[in-house]
Structures are given as C-alpha cells and as structure tokens.
Amino acid sequence: MIRGKKKIFLSLFGFLGLFFFIFLMFSRDTEQHHTIHRDAVIRGDSTRKEIALVFTGGDFSDGGRHIQRVLDQENVSAGFFFTGDFYRNEANQQLIEQLVRDGHYLGPHSDRHLLYCSWENRDSLLITKAEFAEDMLANYAEMERFGVTRKDALFFIPPYEWYNEAIVQWAEEMNLVLFNMTPGTLSHADYTTPDMVNYRDSEKIYRSILDYEKTHNTGLNGFILLVHIGSHPDRVDKFYRMLAPLIGELKTRGYQFKRIDQLIGEQN
C-alpha cells in the first residue's frame, strides 16, 4: 500500500515537474526583453524586429509637414513629444491638429524644456518636485487644447533626454511613464549646426543607423529612434529629408514600426 502511494506521489511529482518546465519555457518565450537605464525604459523587446520613431520639438518645426507626409505615405505611426511652448506656438497649430487626426501618439516634453539635473553630476537635481509637477501639468494643459488628455498621453521623454532616478520616481507618482531614446546611433544629432564641435551631417547620421543595424547581433530590435521635428536655420542639411529612404530601407530589412505605447507599453 505504501509502495503504491509512493508511485502515485512520484508520478504526481513528475507531472508537476513537467508542467513547471513547460511553464518556464513559455515564460521565457513571452518575456519582454526591455532595456532599463536609471529606472527608465530605453529600448523595447530586443528579440523583435520592431522600432518606434519618436520626434521631439521645442523651438523649431520646419520638418513637420515633410515628416507628416512621409509617415502618411509609408503608413507608419510615430510618437511626437512637444514642449508646452511648441503647443502654444500658433504657427504649429495646423500641424499638431493633423498629427492628431493621423492617429500619432502625442505627448509632453516638459512645458519649458527644463534641465532636470546637472550635466556634470547627473545625481544633482536642478529642480524641485513641485516645480517638476507644475511644469508637466502646464504641458498637459496645452495638449488638452488639441483634445489630448493626460490619460491619453502617459508616456513622455525628458527634455534634453537627460534625467535621473528621482525624476523617474516623481513621474511614477503622477502616474506617468518616463522613457528615453535608445543610445548607439547619431539620429539625435540632427539638431547640430556646422559651428558646433559635435556637428554631424545627415549622411553620417544615416550611415550610423544602418551600420549599427548591420554590426550588432540584435540589430535595431526594440529601438526607440529619436529625431527632431525641426532644427536651427543654420543647419541647411536637414536629416528629416532622409526619413523616407530610411524607413524604406529598414522595412526591406524586415522591421515593423510601432507607436511608442505599443513598443514598450506591455511592460508597464
């Protein structure tokens, strides 16, 4: 009798072990391989050939119409993160309204484009928690004029793409999700002008993206690729003019374009 019970126990143990093994394998297959830096997501699932295009805007919007048309022609949805000053600027009104109609993700980028922490010491805050909250709420107030409510735009990218863990925590307490661009390419250098020591021309920026894709095992999987919606007039070599060939090339390499909330939203 005892021997029979022992056999039943061992069979049950074996079954549970098999079940647990299958569960682990399934979990491993469905795990989200996000990259986190200083408590914020900076890359989506590195096992999927998916990319999120995000465009930030503050002072300049000269590429807006061109970018909107290219995305429409390529059937690509993107994320647009603007400062309150950008939303307030009457010259940008029609562009913003069109982006909303096209179904893009519109979010905040700090009302006044504040520098949250020191360049020299990232752990040194330059604003208070109250100032952060006031600035973000002012940004949302401008967005609401275009029918974009706070619940519609919980994701935001920090000004200057510069933050620390305290800022992430303050955002979470407001039920917001701070994320940042994926490092490794020069896409964000499209704001530079020829007089700057860090100037990068558009061809160099373009090549940096494709070279990264070619030379890394995970390519651009899960990449959050940041581009500026405009740049200073002194930069006549506008990178946004290369957006169409870039999207086309990445599509031929098998990439799908997702909105930022679709790319990283599942992990929140």
Question: Do 16 and 139 sit in the same domain of this protein?
Answer: no
Structure token pair of residue 36: 């986190």
Q: What is the arithmetic mean of pLDDT over 136-154?
A: 97
Q: Is the pLDDT of residue 6 over 60?
A: no
Coil/strand/helix, residue 16: helix
Question: Do 259 and 134 sit in the same domain of this protein?
Answer: yes
What pLDDT is recorded for position 4? 52
Question: Do 90 and 45 sit in the same domain of this protein?
Answer: yes
What pLDDT is recorded for position 78? 98
Question: Do 210 and 80 sit in the same domain of this protein?
Answer: yes
Would you say how long the chain is, in residues? 268
Q: Is the pLDDT of residue 5 over 80?
A: no
Q: Is the pLDDT of residue 11 over 50?
A: no
Q: What's the CATH number where 129 sits?
A: 3.20.20.370
In the structure, what pLDDT confidence band is assigned to residue 8 with cuts at 50, 70 and 90?
Answer: very low
Report yes or no on whether pTM surpasses 0.75.
yes
Closest CA to 40 of 135, 176, 200: 176
Q: For 66-111, how does the pLDDT look when each residue is reduced to its tens digit (9 = 90+)?
A: 999 999 999 999 999 999 999 999 999 999 999 999 999 999 999 9
Question: Do 241 and 159 sit in the same domain of this protein?
Answer: yes
Could you list the residue range(s) of the whole structural domain that residue 27 is in?
A: 1-31
Average pLDDT in the chain: 90
What pLDDT is recorded for position 231? 97
Please report the DSSP string for 149-176 in residue order.
Answer: -GGG--EE--GGG---HHHHHHHHHTT-
Q: For 26-55, how does the pLDDT look when each residue is reduced to its tens digit (9 = 90+)?
A: 333 334 689 999 999 999 999 999 999 999
What pLDDT is recorded for position 265? 84
What pLDDT is recorded for position 148? 97
Q: Measured between alpha carbons, how far is residue 165 from residues 62, 125, 128, 203, 243 in Å?
A: 33, 10, 14, 35, 33
Please report the DSSP string for 21-81 in residue order.
Answer: HHHHHHHHHH----EEETTEEEE--TTS-EEEEEEEESS--TTHHHHHHHHHHHT---EEE
Q: Is the C-alpha dihedral spanning 217, 218, 220, 226 positive or negative?
A: negative
Q: How much of the chain, in percent, has pLDDT values that exceed 90? A: 86
Closest CA to 212 of 250, 239, 180, 264: 250
Question: Do 137 and 196 sit in the same domain of this protein?
Answer: yes
